[in-house]
Structure 1
Amino acid sequence: MEQKQERKDGIGEEMPIKVGKVKVKGAKATKSSLIVPEVKSILGSTTQKELFENLKAAHTHLHAYGIFDSVSSQVDAMDDVDALEVLLSLREKKRHTVHVGMEAGANEVLTNISAQMINVLGGGEPIKINACIGHSRSSSYDITFLKPFSHQVAQYNFFSSLYRRTTNHFASVHTDLTTGTTMGFKVPTRLGQYSCGLSFDCRNITDLRPDTPLPIRLHAGYGTKTSFQHSLELNLTDSPAFPSKGVRCRLSQEVATLDSFNEGKRFFKTDGDVQVNSRVPFTPLVFSSSLQAGGIFSNMERIPISDLFFLGGPQSIRGYRLRGVGPRAGNASLGGTAFVAAGAHLFSPLPYISSDRFRLHLFATGGSLLSETPSRHSPLSRTARLFQREFAWSYGVGLAVNVGVGRIEFNYCFPRPGEVQSSPLQGLHVGLGINFL
């Protein structure tokens, strides 16, 4: 009896049908080229099961463009012929939006003003205009155009941006003014979100003070950079602020030419990070570990300071001033061309408080920043000694607060700089951001 029932259900799912007509309602500003592929797949349905699968796929594909508030469908029998009629109802989103809010920057709060126009050309294209203004003379302005180029998966995007950024690097006693443009592709893969792009930047190192050291003054003035970048990012965590499980990893690489393709002024830059989160068995505790590393490879005598790596600060190695680990000249951080950093964290719910917004935080972080990248021919033991000699670390305890897209950390830190050139600062540190070491 059970076998007969299964066969009967199977016949129902595979029952032959014919779709005679598909009506689309509500596509006022959307081009037919976006909808026709979905209509064709629905018209091609030959069984009841296939019809419902194609309808589900059409809903998913159209929602992925981000231009519809709702997508629904209705199936009825046609009066004059033995066929089905499908009504595809679309409700388009408001085409213009403006948002004013706060955003977490490099350990500072930025005022964010953004405007977006969606479905500009009728093919799901948004134009985004964004302005971020910080309290320390840091600001950025950019306009970005995105074009979906696959009707099957709308996340395949072509992007093009114009931007202008002003960043006050007080820890390195200068301001970086960058104006540029970039274009490229963003493609989802099984390994994560892949993006690649070509950029052209015009940069100016300015606002030097009387106490700006000579090594930074050598970078002053205008310069140009043409670069090709690509990156791969995979995020399998269950929360952006307090992940309790999952892995997040990122790998990015850049090939750059400086000052109008002058011979020899080229470098290759690569960096990546990985974070692993897991619950401690039989406890409410969460253990998180992270590792970051990067290097710049070039025959150039001096890499521009805007492209160097920096370590230290509330989002990096705790217990040090911002950019407080690594080579220094006076009170200014000089940056480096190779680094490695790691962190271990233990998060616990607050006792007697049921809110998920707060966590007790025990941590240890450390790393090394080198002024010169070790040669690929250098013995591994010598490279390890270089990083060991420049190693600085810290430990501490604090309170972490979930603020939605990121978190705030209030940590009391105990730095252990050893013999490294650094700027330790024992005491209370406040960190605000999304990605922490």
Structure 2
Amino acid sequence: MSRPLSAEDNDIFERLQQLPDPKVLEEQQQAINERVRAIYEKSQTRLGELIDQNSTLPCAISSIEVLNARHTRRGFLERILNPLLSANQNRPYTLSEALREVSTCADKLNRFGIFHQPISVYLDQHPDADVQSGLTNLNIYLSAKEKSRVLVNTGTDLGNTEGSAYGNLLWRNVFGGAESLNLNASMGTRTRSAYQAAFDTPILSDPDFRFEVGGVASSTQKSWASHEEALKGAWAKLRWMSQSGHRHEFGYNGFWRQITGLAQNASSTVRADAGDSVKSSVFHSWTNDKRDHPLLPSRGYYAKYFNELAGWGPSREMYHFGNQNSKRKERGISLTTGFRAGLLCPLGLDSDSRPQLSRINDRFLLGGPTDVRGFRLCGLGPHDGSDAVGGDVYAAGSANLLVPLPRVGAEKPLRLQAFLNGGRLLPLRTSQKTTPTTNAEVTNAVVSTLSELQNGMPSIAAGIGLVYAQPVARFELNFSLPLVLRRGEEGRKGLQLGIGISFL
């Protein structure tokens, strides 16, 4: 026989119906997390102690297997893994040596970009030990998960006075040897159309030694010089990294260029270079990047040197070098300095036995929101009327102070920036301010133009702004004020938006 509910029973039901206190739940979850972390740390410590205690234990690697690599060639993996097998070694491993070599191999597989990180490593003792040698035989298993082989991206870009729509197709691991095929197509307000294909493959299963071949067809409206340039061509290059971490590229370019679509008010300099030209060149670049972050560095340095020997018959040589240094101060404040310079020098003679001087589509351009801030796009250097016609010698530098925003924190990729930058861009001229007409005058012109860089103040601008670094690009919104403006050059007072991966 049931009895009526008492006041005490009703109180129990009311407490059961009440929602738990969020603060209590948070404390309980925190306690669970701390217990799990303590167990994990204890197991890791125990594992480390076991490895340390047996670090000198002689062992042999009898087999290595990569799991879940269904689309990767066996021969490609064997070239990487076979050198680790004890059968291919002159002496036995110690356990610590075996673990170190296996870890190096897993890192090498990661650098091909075809597997998700990290690649897990499992060790299993072989049941049939080697009785004669007394070695412990190990079976190694690398558990890998392949990335999606085909990746398609579409989108729009807005920035640097241009809007565009693009499509990209990336095909990874094309033939099972970490090859990649990259197809790009874009259309925009300045780059009318651009189509590019590039095929990249590692050589001898080495992620740091690669070969690339590609082709491009594009049409770009160059409003700063009253013309449009159509470009068709191809390239091939080798890329490798030295043991000290220096990156090198060596390759060949072959391009057919057309300067066309001239505006009615195009200058005589632009009209003189209109029409077809062929660029055939070999090049080499060296890069040493020690920055802690490629887009928002706080310490380290970046240095690059580019050398190109170009010409169809007569030759021209281009030198371009630059560096960037970053130093971290207190509370996330960093100071970044950068310097770039370049020289374009004629080496051969044209059909009239005169030095083959540079064309408008070969020369350096300077100025803009990702270059020398506070000036219009290509606003520095020689102008013919309203057209920026570029120069053969330039130098530019900058100093940027980056400060975390209040209440945002130094861990966020958002910074307040104050900068001071400037530069000069000059045509190749003799000491008499004339164009060189003989090989002897070319040497005189190079020396004279380099000396001219030091005469007078460069064009200078200063400003403040906001910097935001995404994983793929850096955004800057700056208010700039030109301080020194040379005759004929175009400054830009006010807001400038810069989007890119390389800033001065």
**1:361 aligned partner:** 417
Q: What one-letter code is carried by the residue in structure 1 that aligns with 2:403?
A: S
Q: What one-letter code is carried by the residue in structure 1 that aligns with 2:385?
A: G
CA distance in 1, matches of 2:69, 2:324: 43
**1:288 aligned partner:** 336
Counterparts of 1:2-41 in structure 2, within 5 Å, are: 12-41=54-83
Change (3 A) 1:181 1:349: same
Q: What one-letter code is carried by the residue in structure 1 that aligns with 2:85?
A: L
* Match status 1:323 vs 2:372: no
Change (3 A) 1:233 1:89: same
More displaced, 311-320 or 47-56? 47-56
Select which of 135, 142, 162 maps to 2:189: 135
Change (3 A) 1:24 1:343: closer
Change (3 A) 1:120 1:313: same
CA distance in 1, matches of 2:448, 2:315: 28
Change (3 A) 1:403 1:109: farther
* Match status 1:402 vs 2:449: no
Q: Relative to total residues, which structure has the larger strand share, 1 or 2?
A: 1
**1:230 aligned partner:** 284
CA distance in 2, matches of 1:347, 1:25: 46
Q: What one-letter code is carried by the residue in structure 1 that aligns with 2:275?
A: G
The Cα of 1:15 is off from its aligned counterpart by 1.9
CA distance in 2, matches of 1:379, 1:119: 48
**1:272 aligned partner:** 321
**1:239 aligned partner:** 293
CA distance in 2, matches of 1:379, 1:307: 17
* Match status 1:116 vs 2:170: yes
**1:42 aligned partner:** 84
Q: What one-letter code is carried by the residue in structure 1 that aligns with 2:197?
A: I
More displaced, 215-224 or 392-401? 392-401
Aligned length: 423
CA distance in 2, matches of 1:102, 1:316: 22
CA distance in 1, matches of 2:500, 2:65: 48
Secondary structure at 1:431's aligned position in 2? strand
Asked if 2 retains the 8 angstrom alpha-carbon contact of 1:104 and 1:433, the reply is no
Asked if 2 retains the 8 angstrom alpha-carbon contact of 1:145 and 1:161, the reply is yes
Secondary structure at 2:311's aligned position in 1? strand
More displaced, 59-68 or 334-343? 59-68
More displaced, 378-387 or 322-331? 378-387
What do residues 73-99 of structure 1 show as CA deviations (whole Å, max 9, x unaligned)?
433233455443333444333221112
Asked if 2 retains the 8 angstrom alpha-carbon contact of 1:392 and 1:420, the reply is no
Q: Relative to total residues, which structure has the larger helix share, 1 or 2?
A: 2
Secondary structure at 1:325's aligned position in 2? coil
Change (3 A) 1:425 1:57: closer
CA distance in 1, matches of 2:396, 2:252: 29
The Cα of 1:105 is off from its aligned counterpart by 7.0
What do residues 94-136 of structure 1 show as CA deviations (whole Å, max 9, x unaligned)?
2211122455775545433211112212222111112233332
CA distance in 1, matches of 2:101, 2:376: 56
CA distance in 2, matches of 1:291, 1:195: 21
Unaligned 5+ residue runs, structure 1?
1-7
CA distance in 2, matches of 1:235, 1:102: 30
Percent identity reads 26
Asked if 2 retains the 8 angstrom alpha-carbon contact of 1:129 and 1:144, the reply is yes
Secondary structure at 2:76's aligned position in 1? helix
Runs of 4+ that moved beyond 6 A: 8-11, 378-382
Select which of 246, 249, 253 maps to 1:195: 249
What do residues 330-358 of structure 1 show as CA deviations (whole Å, max 9, x unaligned)?
11101100011111122222234447343
Counterparts of 1:301-380 in structure 2, within 5 Å, are: 301-354=356-409, 356-372=412-428, 376-377=443-444
Asked if 2 retains the 8 angstrom alpha-carbon contact of 1:338 and 1:373, the reply is no
* Match status 1:213 vs 2:267: yes
The Cα of 1:14 is off from its aligned counterpart by 2.3
Secondary structure at 1:40's aligned position in 2? helix
Q: Quick one: higher RCO (CA 8 Å, sep 6+), 1 or 2?
A: 1
CA distance in 1, matches of 2:469, 2:247: 25
The Cα of 1:277 is off from its aligned counterpart by 1.1
Select which of 105, 115, 123 maps to 1:75: 123
* Match status 1:179 vs 2:232: yes
Unaligned 5+ residue runs, structure 2?
1-49, 87-91, 131-136, 348-354, 431-441
Task: State which structure, 1 or 2, has the greater radius of gyration over its C-alpha atoms.
Answer: 2
Secondary structure at 1:320's aligned position in 2? coil
CA distance in 1, matches of 2:99, 2:214: 40
**2:141 aligned partner:** 87
The Cα of 1:274 is off from its aligned counterpart by 0.8
Secondary structure at 2:361's aligned position in 1? helix
The Cα of 1:396 is off from its aligned counterpart by 1.9
Secondary structure at 1:345's aligned position in 2? strand
| TM-score (norm: length of structure 2) | 0.77
Q: What one-letter code is carried by the residue in structure 1 that aligns with 2:97?
A: E
CA distance in 1, matches of 2:121, 2:492: 62
The Cα of 1:58 is off from its aligned counterpart by 2.2
More displaced, 71-80 or 204-213? 71-80
Secondary structure at 1:33's aligned position in 2? helix
The Cα of 1:147 is off from its aligned counterpart by 1.4
Asked if 2 retains the 8 angstrom alpha-carbon contact of 1:370 and 1:387, the reply is no
**1:147 aligned partner:** 201
CA distance in 2, matches of 1:332, 1:379: 24
Q: What one-letter code is carried by the residue in structure 1 that aligns with 2:283?
A: Q
Asked if 2 retains the 8 angstrom alpha-carbon contact of 1:24 and 1:90, the reply is yes
Change (3 A) 1:170 1:104: same
CA distance in 2, matches of 1:364, 1:385: 22
What do residues 133-184 of structure 1 show as CA deviations (whole Å, max 9, x unaligned)?
3332443221111111133x41210110011122211011111111111001
